[in-house]
Amino acid sequence: MPAKPKVPGLIKGLGVTMGTMFRTVKDGANTVQYPHEKETPPIRARGVIALREDNCTACMLCARSCPDWCIYIEGHKQLAPPRRAGGKPRQVNHLDRFDIDYALCMYCGICVEVCPFDALFWSPEYEYSEPRIADLLHDKTKLGEWMETVPEAPELEAGAAKK
């Protein structure tokens, strides 16, 4: 049986609320008055997904793994100059359209995980709400602009680098 508290719980509870009130008046609240002052989100916060277009091969893995089907990709095959002189022209996928509908996205991050070419990144930016819901469809230029807000990848832990 736990020891009987010195102060009855009912009185103690009143003390807690009153104490918190005086602390808030004296030291300020724990909350932040959002539009006037902002908290910096943690570096790995899931704010918005950025696209590095050069890395994308329109392989569709992200679009197919998306639980919400909110990624729209269109591309076409085209010939690129050969890598070595005298070689055969290469066939590459060219990205025509890469849209993410943030009205549907649920920020699960599976697309970022699944991308084999490092074309998708998380950015902690979060202020992109729109008065019109259709404007939440970000096209590839807009997704490319988000790349500027992607923070540098943190240093690997010692011993984690590939041998």
Contacts of 18 (CB under 8 A, 6+ apart): none
Residue 38 found at the interface with other proteins (CB under 8 A): no
Shortest distance, position 135 Cβ to other proteins, whole Å: 26
Q: How far apart are CA 151 and CA 163, in angstroms?
A: 25
Instruction: Pick between residue 28 and residue 159 the one whose CB is nearest to other proteins.
Output: 28
Q: Is 24 in the site for other proteins (CB under 8 A)?
A: yes
Tell me if 33 contacts other proteins by CB under 8 A. yes
Q: Assess contact for 59 and 127: CB atoms under 8 A.
A: no
Indicate whether 55 belongs to the interface with other proteins (CB under 8 A). no
| Six token digits for residue 34 | 């959002």
The structure tokens 């300020």 sit at 28
Residues lying near other proteins in the complex (CB under 8 A): 10, 13-14, 16-18, 20-21, 23-25, 29-31, 33
